[in-house]
Structure formats: C-alpha cells, structure tokens
Chains A and B, each alone.
Chain A
Amino acid sequence: MTRFRLLRIIGPPLIPLLVLTAGSELLIRGGIIPGFILPAPSAVVAAVALNTRELLAALGRTALAASLGFLLSVAVGLCAAIALSTSRLVERALYPYTVFFQTVPIIAIAPLLVIWLNYGLKVVVASSFIVSVFPVIANALAGIRSTDPALLDLFRLYGASRSSTLLKLRIPAALPSILTGLRIAGGLAVIGAIVGEFITGYGLGDVIESAKTQQRVDLVFAAVLLASLLGLALFGLINLLSYLALRRWHACEQNG
C-alpha cells in the first residue's frame, strides 16, 4: 500500500526522464546526432565512473563554497531585512542598493573579485553570495512588513517592546516568506559558485572549463549533472527545514 503510494509520487517525474534518456541514447547510437555534440547518457555515466575521484573532489569543493556563500547570504540577508524593516526611512535610503545585488552581471564583475580577493575559495564564496543574497532580503523584508496589523495592535496593547515584537511576532510570522527566499537562494548559490569557479579555477567550474577546452563533452555533462544535483540537494535540505519548521501551523506544509 505504502509502496504503491511512493510509486505514485516518484513515478510520474521518472517517466519523462526515462523517455528522454532512452531516446537520446538511441538517437546518438543510431548516428543521428554525433557524439561530440551531445554525449550519449551511457557515455556521461562512463565519464563519471572513469573520473570519479576527480569529480567528487571538485564536487566537494563546490559544495563547500556554495554552502558558505548560501549561509553568508542567509546571515547577511536576514540582518539586512531586519535593519531595513526598522523604519521606512532606512528602507527608502538603502533598499534600492540591495537591488544592485539582483541586477549586477556577475559574469562581468567576477574578474574584479579576483583582483580584490585573489584566486580561490574566497572568490567563489563571494560570487555565490552576490547572486543569492537578494532573494533572501526581498522575501524576508516582505514577510516582516506584512505582519497582521491586529496582532501588532495586540502587542502594543500589552506594551511589548520593539525587540520582543520582532522576536515573538514579526520574525515568526515572516518565516514562510523567509523560507521561500532561502529556497530561491539555494539554487542561485550553486549557480553563483560555478560562475566564480570559471574565473578562478576551482571545483566543478574548473572541471567544466578544462573539459571544454579538451572537447570532452561527456565530462562537461558529468560535471554539469553533479552541479545540478548539488543545487537539488540544497533545495531538498531547505524544503526539509521548512517542513520541520512549519508543519504544525502553516497551510503550505499541511496540504502538501
């Protein structure tokens, strides 16, 4: 019974994957698409098997950098949102500049990061942070701002201080939006990390760069696949966190 239910959840998304994999395998084996343009799925798997050690080491580095960038985004983003929420004046003065993080073409300023931070992990973390911080700020701020006015009245009626209103009302009430921001930021953190790695030569980004110059499309695909899986894992982790935090009270975790 439960096994059947599990199949119903996992089954539907598996079907397109199987069709796509089998289809491309056939097209490439049949010579319709040349293997140097699109590697056969079997070739990608083989590339992973042959370069397991190298790929896993790169994956570990990228995972570390993306996680650090993500955590930095969460910490800085939440503090910024709280600071911006303290007054309309502060928000009006500073919020436009946070939009900068959203609009900055990271690929263009990544070389600057190298100049400022030297090569290596720091550049990758910075790039990951720049790309992923804005959704954290924007969603947290929207959440904190949209606190139920009646509840604010209630807190005022009992003479609650600003800090206790923030901790006991505004932040918990904003939790669903904060977690939405984190979900978006998780995927972006991996993308930002890979971009930083292209420039500074680090982790999976480096594997992709060098495989590309060697025309090893299968290895490029293998690295891209791992990067996507990393983003997916981070997303899953945040979803789990969200479920644990909200399951008892929020509709979005109860009707799921």
Chain B
Amino acid sequence: MLPPSRPPHPAQAGTPLRGTDAAAEGPPAASSDRSGVTVVIDGVRRVFDGQTVAVETLSLRIPAGQFLAILGPSGCGKSTLLRLIARLDRPTSGAVRVEDAATAVAESGAAAAGVGIAAAIGPGAAAAGPERARGGAGGGPSSSPAPSNPIAFVFQDAHLLPWRTVLHNAALPLELLGVSRAQRLAVAREELVQVGLGDALERYPAQLSGGMRMRVSLARALVTRPRLLLLDEPFAALDEITRQRLDEQLRGLYLARRMTVIFVTHSIPEATFLADRAVVLSRRPARIVLDAAIELPPQRTAQLRTDAGFARQMRALFAALQDA
C-alpha cells in the first residue's frame, strides 16, 4: 500500500484526473516494497540523426501504481518514448526519472522533490544504467531475497529464445541478474503458473501458439517482480479473443501487484478496458493531445466490454484520436 501521506501530483495536464489514482481504491498490494514507482518525464525530446524529431519536448508524470495507456497513430513515437523510459535509449534533451515513492518517504528529510532511487538519465548521466537502479530498489529495509530489476519490458512480439524451454525462457532475466539456478527456476515456475502455463514448462517456443508465447513473455517480464512494467503493443499480433483474454489476465496481475504499468497500444477498446488513464499522442513528432482519466471500476471483467459506461469512455478517446 502506498503511503497515505503522499503529496498530490501536480502538473497533470488535461481533463479530470483526480481520483484516477487506482492505488487508493483497489485491494491492498501484496507488500509495500513491491508497489509501483513514479515515472517523471521531464521535457523529453528525442531527435534521431539530428533531423527526425520522434518526441517533441514532452512532459508527463505517471504516479506510482497507475495503469497508463499511451495511444497514438502508428509511427508516432510511442515506442521511442517507451524505450526512453526503459533507459534503452537516451533523450536528446530533458530527463526521465523513475522515483520510488516509498523510499522517498522513508528518507523524508532528504531533499524535497523527487529523490528516492531516482535513476535519472539524460545527456549528462551516462553512468545511470539499470545497475544503479537495481541496487537502489533492492536496498530497501524489507528487500526480498531475489535481486530485482525495477523495470520490465514486454515487446510487440514475444521475442523468446527459441532454443530454450518455456521455463528457461521465463527464468532468463533472473539468470542475467545472477540469481542462483534453483531460485530462478522456482520463481519462473511460479510466474508461469500465474499466467496459466504450468503444464507447458518443458515445451519449446516453436511448439506454442502465439497467445501462449506472449504469456511466456509476460511471465518473463514478471519474474523480477518489476515495479514498472512497460508494454509495447504486446498483443497486437494476436487474434481478438486471445487478446481479450490476455487483457483480462494483465489487468488481474496489475490489481494483484500494484506495479506502475505503461501500455502502448493503438487499440481504443484495449486502452479503455485496461487503463486508468489514457494519453493520446499526436502524429510524429509525438506531443500530448489528450490526457484523460478512464472512469471505470478497478475490477474489470469481460462483461465490462458491453457496458454503456465502457462505450462512453471509448467514444471520448475515439474523438480525441480523430483529432490527433
């Protein structure tokens, strides 16, 4: 559970955003040190090869534990933005900060704004790789036995290692972080059971359906118990039914863990179903066209899709995307 004394978030441009902080409404999170982190995108601009502007001076604050959907036309710079947040790319100017609300409060007294583990990246902060952030996240008073990586990324396609079994694919991040074999396999098995793949552990990716592969990819992202989950149109290539089922599963996982989720998609129904807040980006270079709360109950089931409220939320987003 997030600390109740957390100050309100300023600078959230746009329409009714108060009350979208789902962390306050949902069921309590499993453990406090595993709740989400706050992401602050501060005047980020990304120019490729000195000419193509992918992201134009964009600022956005994603409070801890929020499920944000980023919508926009294809090629508008959504993926670039996600890579910047994941620190897989560096902004040309501006900075992306990933802040740990819990730690910031625990250390309250130390500098006022945005301290915590803050792994800032920008042109000047070359050394701030995942390494540093990891050290910070694991250093809390009640850190779990497994070292964790605070950020996880799910790609457009599953991108599994075809020569590894499902179990060893899911265990890969922990292997790279140096977790012992027994421990990483145990955690991977647990996550695979969570996504409903408990009986496919020894199979190879080539023997799985597209939906199953995507679920392995999801389990792989979850093994480090991430506090920020980034998804780049993860279910876009799947058939509608599989996609809806995965959306429901993802929403359930989110409610259970309270991590911060940033979900890039170009599907309005998907964004509406999943997210608490939607940001619509313009054509390249990406600017924010709309920043709106999605006012639907935190628990979302398949029936919601036929609900009148659901349709109303979708219509509003659709109108915004038309203008994008």
- Decide if A and B are genuine partners: yes
Chain A residues in the interface with B (C-beta under 8 A): 148, 150-151, 153-160, 164, 168-169, 172-173, 175, 248-251, 254
Chain B residues in the interface with A (C-beta under 8 A): 83, 86-88, 129-131, 134, 149, 151-153, 155-157, 159, 161-163, 172-173, 175-177, 204-206, 224
In the complex, which residues of chain B have a beta carbon less than 8 angstroms from the beta carbon of A175? 163
Question: Of A148, A153, A164, A254, which is within 8 A of B88 by CB?
Answer: A153
Interface pairs (16), CB distance under 8 Å = A150-B157, A154-B173, A157-B87, A157-B149, A157-B152, A157-B173, A158-B130, A158-B149, A158-B172, A159-B134, A159-B177, A160-B176, A168-B176, A175-B163, A249-B162, A249-B163
Give 7 A-B pairs besides A157-B151, A160-B176, A168-B176 with Cβ atoms closer than 8 angstroms: A150-B157, A151-B159, A155-B176, A169-B161, A175-B163, A248-B163, A249-B204
Q: Is the CB of B88 within 8 A of A157?
A: yes
In the complex, which residues of chain B have a beta carbon less than 8 angstroms from the beta carbon of A169? 161
In the complex, which residues of chain A have a beta carbon less than 8 angstroms from the beta carbon of B86? 153, 157
A-B pairs with lowest CB-CB distance, top 5: A158-B176, A249-B162, A150-B159, A160-B176, A150-B155
Inter-chain residue pair count (beta carbon < 8 A): 66
Q: Chain A residue with minimal CB distance to B87? A: A157
How far apart are A174's CB and chain B's nearest CB, in angstroms? 11
In the complex, which residues of chain B have a beta carbon less than 8 angstroms from the beta carbon of A150? 155-157, 159
Interface majority SS on A: helix, strand, loop or mixed? helix
Q: Is the CB of A248 within 8 A of B204?
A: yes
Q: Is the CB of B173 within 8 A of A158?
A: yes
A251–B205 CA distance with the chains assembled, in angstroms: 11
In the complex, which residues of chain A have a beta carbon less than 8 angstroms from the beta carbon of B155? 150, 153-154
How far apart are A245's CB and chain B's nearest CB, in angstroms? 9
Q: Chain B residue with minimal CB distance to A254? A: B206
Q: Is the CB of B177 within 8 A of A251?
A: no
In the complex, which residues of chain B have a beta carbon less than 8 angstroms from the beta carbon of A249? 162-163, 204-206
In the complex, which residues of chain B have a beta carbon less than 8 angstroms from the beta carbon of A160? 176
Q: Chain B residue with minimal CB distance to A164? A: B176
Q: Chain B residue with minimal CB distance to A161? A: B176
Q: Which of A150, A154, A172, A175 counts the most B-chain CB atoms under 10 A from its CB?
A: A154
Known A151-B159, A250-B162: A159·B88 in contact at CB below 8 Å = no
A175–B163 CA distance with the chains assembled, in angstroms: 10
Q: Is the CB of B159 within 8 A of A158?
A: no
Q: Is the CB of A172 within 8 A of B163?
A: yes
Q: Chain A residue with minimal CB distance to B88? A: A153
A71–B157 CA distance with the chains assembled, in angstroms: 38
Q: Is the CB of B206 within 8 A of A251?
A: yes
A148–B162 CA distance with the chains assembled, in angstroms: 12
How far apart are B44's CB and chain A's nearest CB, in angstroms? 18
A157–B224 CA distance with the chains assembled, in angstroms: 12
How far apart are B214's CB and chain A's nearest CB, in angstroms? 13
In the complex, which residues of chain B have a beta carbon less than 8 angstroms from the beta carbon of A164? 176
Q: Chain B residue with minimal CB distance to A248? A: B204
A151–B156 CA distance with the chains assembled, in angstroms: 12
How far apart are B119's CB and chain A's nearest CB, in angstroms? 12
In the complex, which residues of chain A have a beta carbon less than 8 angstroms from the beta carbon of B151? 157
Known A164-B176, A249-B204: A157·B153 in contact at CB below 8 Å = yes
A154–B164 CA distance with the chains assembled, in angstroms: 15
Q: Is the CB of B130 within 8 A of A157?
A: yes
Q: Is the CB of B206 within 8 A of A159?
A: no
Q: Is the CB of B161 within 8 A of A159?
A: no
A153–B172 CA distance with the chains assembled, in angstroms: 13
In the complex, which residues of chain B have a beta carbon less than 8 angstroms from the beta carbon of A151? 159, 161
A24–B151 CA distance with the chains assembled, in angstroms: 72
In the complex, which residues of chain B have a beta carbon less than 8 angstroms from the beta carbon of A153? 83, 86, 88, 153, 155
A159–B83 CA distance with the chains assembled, in angstroms: 15
In the complex, which residues of chain A have a beta carbon less than 8 angstroms from the beta carbon of B134? 159
A154–B153 CA distance with the chains assembled, in angstroms: 7
In the complex, which residues of chain B have a beta carbon less than 8 angstroms from the beta carbon of A168? 161, 172, 175-176
In the complex, which residues of chain B have a beta carbon less than 8 angstroms from the beta carbon of A158? 130, 149, 172-173, 176-177, 224
How far apart are B262's CB and chain A's nearest CB, in angstroms? 14
In the complex, which residues of chain B have a beta carbon less than 8 angstroms from the beta carbon of A173? 161
Q: Chain A residue with minimal CB distance to B130? A: A159
How far apart are A178's CB and chain B's nearest CB, in angstroms? 13
Q: Is the CB of A154 within 8 A of B163?
A: no
A169–B152 CA distance with the chains assembled, in angstroms: 18
In the complex, which residues of chain B have a beta carbon less than 8 angstroms from the beta carbon of A155? 176
Q: Chain B residue with minimal CB distance to A158? A: B176
